[in-house]
Amino acid sequence: MAEKPSLFENVTKQVDKAADLMGLNADIRLILSKPTNEIVVHFPVKLTSGKIEMFTGYRIQHNSVLGPYKGGLRFHPAVNRDEVRALAAWMTWKTAIANLPYGGAKGGIQFDPADYSEEDLERITRRFTFALGSNIGPEYDIPAPDVNTNAQIMAWILDTYLSMQAPQQRQNNFHVVTGKPIEAGGSVGRDKATGQGVVFLIDRWAQDNQFELGEATYFVQGFGNVGSWAAKLMKPHGSRLLAVEDASGAIYAPEGIDPDDLSEYLESNHLLTDYPKVQSIDHEMFLATQADIFIPAALESQITGETANLLRVRLVAEGANGPTTPEGDHILIEQGIALLPDVLCNAGGVVVSYFEWLQNKRSEFWDLDMVDAKLHKMLMTAYDRVFWTASEYDTDWRTAAYIVALKRLERSYIRRGIFP
Ligand code: NAD
């Protein structure tokens, strides 16, 4: 069997294409080709059974020239150094495109949280936070939720981090993580932010392409935070959800699936494939769903040299990070399928994380209208930047998005110079 390609190599290929086209300064290309810090921690946890287990956690800090490191934490068996490196680099490009004062980082623990009780998850999360120690911090590196992590996990990280500070310092450190529950310093609108951003951008794309969302059909891979919110927020536009896939399998209903009803069904511990009144379909059939829009919102490397040819859509809106490989990209371009690339399309999460961070720093509390209006404005500006760059360089949207990011990073490095 062919060896699985390195995810970080995929990111490097994407960057190289953009860097060649824009003529990126060679020194800056060299600096950006490696993450700044790679923290690997092996830590013991005493589980509720009394058994001690060892875990491996990562925090990779790719770049901080534009501000503190920022990026999610993932709990998944596939978490490894290569994957986290790639995800950290994507955060650097994403924050630069959205014009946020942040760098890029990512982290996680290599394990399957489904195998552990809620109480053990809390122990693992707290012990990981302790092991990371001062490698995270509110003005240094700020984690957030990602695959299999949520507001509850962020609350445990916050509480553990604060417990590690002197009592006099605790109130100044609430912005050490974002995506927290509202009761623990979170922001309204953060839970839905990534899905909301995906839908704001799809709507904008539809307007620019004289495309009626009220008559559109779409399908979603992954029905967790990003996928379920994106689907629920497409509903008011009148678009019809034809198929959904998650880790348990895929379902299809030509007359449409109600995303609110499906969400409620899954919240009470049901399996997606047991959802009534739909057909179960296999992975290939799922990808071949005839629809207008595909929203991948699960894991990396789903649209590849082998699978991209199956797609029969007009637009791919990447809710997930890295769902398309360079070979997959090539096919999408050849087929004339439009793309809202991950570094633009799923930036809503980090934008509202930034709002949460600001609210914590300023002891403010914004309402949902304000959060949504500011999110919309920032994403439309980012969309415009990518749109104009794609026209200027006559290139695809992923490459254009990378050029936007690389130019901002290049300007900053050139102004500051390289020490010594
Ligand atoms: P989540 O854990 O809430 O949901 C993940 C979903 O993917 C689940 O429905 C799971 O069943 C499904 N899934 C897992 N393996 C699958 C497989 N092999 N095939 C099909 N489905 C599978 O995670 P999330 O936070 O929604 O993140 C999803 C993606 O979005 C990730 O790529 C993540 O990095 C990216 N992302 C998340 C955020 C955020 O704010 N949470 C922000 C930006 C990007």
For the chain, the average pLDDT equals 97
Predicted TM-score (pTM) above 0.85 = yes
| pLDDT of the residue at 1 | 42
For residue 164, how far is its CA from the centre of ligand 1 (angstroms)?
Answer: 31
Chain centroid offset of residue 383 CA = 17
Structure tokens at 414: 């050139």
SS3 at position 18: helix
| pLDDT of the residue at 277 | 87
Return d(Cα 410, Cα 177) in angstroms, integer.
28
Residue 281 has pLDDT above 50, yes or no: yes
Q: Which residue has the CA at smallest separation from atom 43 of ligand 1?
A: 346
Q: pLDDT tens digits for 338-395?
A: 999 999 999 999 999 999 999 999 999 999 999 999 999 999 999 999 999 999 999 9
Q: pLDDT tens digits for 176-186?
A: 999 999 999 99
pLDDT band at 5 (very low <50, low <70, confident <90, very high): confident
Count other C-beta atoms under 10 Å from residue 408's C-beta.
18
Residue 210 has pLDDT above 70, yes or no: yes
Q: What single letter denotes the amino acid at residue 411?
A: R
Residue 2 has pLDDT above 70, yes or no: no
Return d(Cα 218, Cα 256) in angstroms, integer.
9
Chain centroid offset of residue 269 CA = 24
Mean pLDDT of 407-420: 95
| pLDDT of the residue at 266 | 96
| pLDDT of the residue at 269 | 83
Please check whether residue 323 is in contact with residue 298, taking contact to mean a CB–CB distance below 8 angstroms. yes
Provide the β-strand partners of residue 53: 45
- Cα-only R_g, the chain: 21
Mean pLDDT of 198-220: 97
SS3 at position 296: strand
Please check whether residue 251 is in contact with residue 243, taking contact to mean a CB–CB distance below 8 angstroms. yes
Mean pLDDT of 186-201: 98
323 lines ligand 1 (CB under 6 A): no
Q: Which of 70, 94, 106, 180 is catalytic?
A: 106
- The answer to whether 361 is a known catalytic residue is no
Mean pLDDT of 76-95: 98
Alpha helices in 61-191 (DSSP H): 81-97, 118-132, 151-163
Return d(Cα 17, Cα 58) in angstroms, integer.
28
Q: pLDDT tens digits for 316-332?
A: 999 999 999 999 999 99
pLDDT band at 3 (very low <50, low <70, confident <90, very high): low
Chain centroid offset of residue 392 CA = 27
The H or E element that residue 74 is part of is strand 69-75
User: Taken in order 193, 256, 283, 307, is the CA torsion positive or negative?
Assistant: negative
Mean pLDDT of 190-199: 98
pLDDT band at 59 (very low <50, low <70, confident <90, very high): very high
221 lines ligand 1 (CB under 6 A): yes
Strands of 239-320, DSSP E:
240-246, 249-252, 279-281, 293-296, 315-317
Share of the chain above pLDDT 70, in %: 99
Which of ligand 1's atoms lies nearest the C-alpha of 227?
26
Count other C-beta atoms under 10 Å from residue 341's C-beta.
26
Mean pLDDT of 288-298: 98
The C-alpha angle 376, 220, 335, rounded to 5 degrees, equals 90
Pocket perturbation via mutation, ligand 1, pick of 85, 121, 147 by most ligand atoms within 8 A of CB: 147
Residue 94 has pLDDT above 50, yes or no: yes
